[in-house]
Amino acid sequence: MIPTLETDRLRLIPPNLDSFDVYQRFYTDPEASALYGGPIGKEQVWARLKADIGSWHLLGFGVWVIQQKSDHRQIGTCGFWQGADWPRELTWWVMPDSRGKGIATEASKAALLYAYNQFKWDQVETYMNDENVAARHLVEKLGGRKVRRQTFSDGLSRDIYALPKPA
């Protein structure tokens, strides 16, 4: 069973069929998804949603869909992802009209607490492409510290950050 997490403003819910709309709006928007492998077509969006749902069943962890408590609108995802031969990471994306409001920070703190308290992970890491300045700022705000640089199977090198348990 995939848990639901709650913060002051957000509910982090399991991805489901109702999430396809927010996935499609994000991943087909060239600007919104540029640093997340987009834009991609509808079939690829469908595959991405199915992969996010399947991760929970295959690996025991995955991403949650970020839902605003105020209006129940789904506005992004946050949680954990791991590709084949890639390190496990904290990841997130938020729709452009919901950025700059602390949503990713609030959701990330909830996910980190869950990882440390429920999954009992000793360490949570994250990484991003070098040009993703906003993600790097969020990681620094969360107290992340660079622990190494790694070359990935896509040929890119990325800084790997260790993230502490939120206070």
pLDDT tens digits, the chain, 167 residues: what are they?
A: 899 999 999 999 999 999 999 999 999 999 999 999 999 999 999 999 999 999 999 999 999 999 999 999 999 999 999 999 999 999 999 999 999 999 999 999 999 999 999 999 999 999 999 999 999 999 999 999 999 999 999 999 999 999 999 98
Range of the domain at 43: 5-122
- Residues with Cβ within 8 Å of 93's Cβ and at least 6 positions away in sequence, in order, are 26, 32, 33, 36, 76, 77
Partner residues linked to 65 by β-bridges: 13, 77
Residue 141 belongs to a domain: no
Residue 127: left (phi > 0), alpha (psi -120 to 50), or beta?
A: beta
Whole-model pTM: value is 0.97
CA distance 122 to 119: 9
Residue 134 belongs to a domain: no
CA distance 124 to 114: 11
In the chain, how many domains are there? Answer: 1
